Amino acid sequence: MKKVSRFFLLPTMLLMGLILTGADIPYLTGRVTDNAQILSPSVRQSLTETLKAHEDRTGNQIAILTVPTIQGESIEEYAVEVFEAWKLGQQGKDNGILIVVVPNDRRMRIEVGYGLEGTLTDGTAGQIIRSIMTPRFQDGDYDGGITEGALAVINVLESGGLPDSIGEMDSEGESGILQFEGPDLPIRERILIGAFIFGIIGLFTAIGIFTPGVGWFLYFFLIPFWAMFPIIVLGSGGAFICLITYLIAFPATKLFIKNTEWYKKAKKDLRTKGRASIGGFRISSGGSGGSWSSGRSGFSSSSFSGGGGSSGGGGASGRW
């Protein structure tokens, strides 16, 4: 029996190990490490020479990495791991940059070392991804997308900015509110973070809607929370939709239930008895507001709780 158990236990442990292991960090084989085999030999050679010439002129180290997949790992975390393992940039200057492209996952990132974050900002890196690399990747042109993206990075580092035409293209691409790029998070992280965020602000929103007396205070109090917190999960476009929905739905629902009998009774009980019951919750008035409680627990409606270089996570990510 023990032999049978061991026979099944060993493969199970090996399988779990494979599942829990993230994407491997590849060896640094040169300025261009094309493990996904998406670049032509001539482009790999040309990029290598271009990046070397830039390093000779400025001391900045730029490396390009392509891998087929990172197995569901966050590209931000993966890029930092590679950056730290390769130690891009000079020690003390932290002037390294890593361009990562993951074709099977349709992800990319420009990871920027500490020393270059002031020159190649997150916004500029995002412009390069959206305006230069993404359109070419969507057409299947990896040679052109990676080459033009690397040249744009070099142009920013050596001249201090992008050509005006690129800025105009990026502005046109974001003219629609729903065109804002969402956060690059795995689906499990979005679900967990979303449950936390919407659980909290959703709870206080419900309190504002169903509680006589303090509802309109909470309505205005929660506006900045509905405007900013959803960005983490849904991006700017999704957060804007959430905010508009909240601004309309809260007062509409509040005005609708205001005429219901149970709401009128709760309002009257608060005014005459100092307490009321709504859906099994007890509400007691106090000062200018009220408080909810159920059993022994309760809370106040007004409370709310390469070369030794390194990277701190600066840069930008994208998808196509």
Say whether both 163 and 255 belong to one domain: no
Mean pLDDT by 10 residues, the chain (320 residues): 46 46 78 94 95 93 94 89 91 92 93 91 90 93 95 91 58 44 63 87 84 74 89 82 91 82 72 60 51 43 49 68
Q: Which pLDDT belongs to residue 274? A: 57
Say whether both 198 and 214 belong to one domain: yes
Say whether both 174 and 80 belong to one domain: yes
Q: Which pLDDT belongs to residue 279? A: 56
Q: What does the alpha-carbon distance between residue 307 and residue 305 come to, in Å, rounded to a whole number?
A: 43
Q: What does the alpha-carbon distance between residue 96 and residue 236 come to, in Å, rounded to a whole number?
A: 29
Q: In this structure, is residue 138 part of a structural domain? A: yes
Domain span holding position 168? 2-180+311-319
**What are the C-alpha distances in Å from 18 to residues 22, 26, 35, 116, 189?**
8, 17, 20, 36, 20
Q: Which of 126, 122, 65 is nearest to 99 (CA)?
A: 65
Say whether both 123 and 197 belong to one domain: no
Q: Which pLDDT belongs to residue 145? A: 95
| Token code pair at residue 211 | 């509680």
Say whether both 115 and 264 belong to one domain: no
Longest Cα–Cα distance in the chain: 84
Q: What does the alpha-carbon distance between residue 118 and residue 59 come to, in Å, rounded to a whole number?
A: 16
The pTM for the full model equals: 0.53
Say whether both 62 and 34 belong to one domain: yes
Q: Which pLDDT belongs to residue 238? A: 82
Q: In this structure, is residue 248 part of a structural domain? A: yes
Say whether both 94 and 170 belong to one domain: yes
Contact assessment for residue 101 and residue 38, using Cβ atoms and an 8 Å cutoff: yes
pLDDT digits (tens, 9 = 90+) for 144-156: 999 999 999 999 9
CATH number of the structural domain spanning residue 157: 3.10.310.50
Q: Which pLDDT belongs to residue 287? A: 42
How many independent structural domains does the chain possess? 2
Say whether both 87 and 143 belong to one domain: yes
Work out whether strand 275-278 and strand 281-286 pair parallel, antiparallel, or are unpaired.
Answer: antiparallel
Q: In this structure, is residue 306 part of a structural domain? A: no
Q: Which pLDDT belongs to residue 317? A: 72
Rama region for 313: left / alpha / beta (φ>0; ψ in -120 to 50; rest) = left
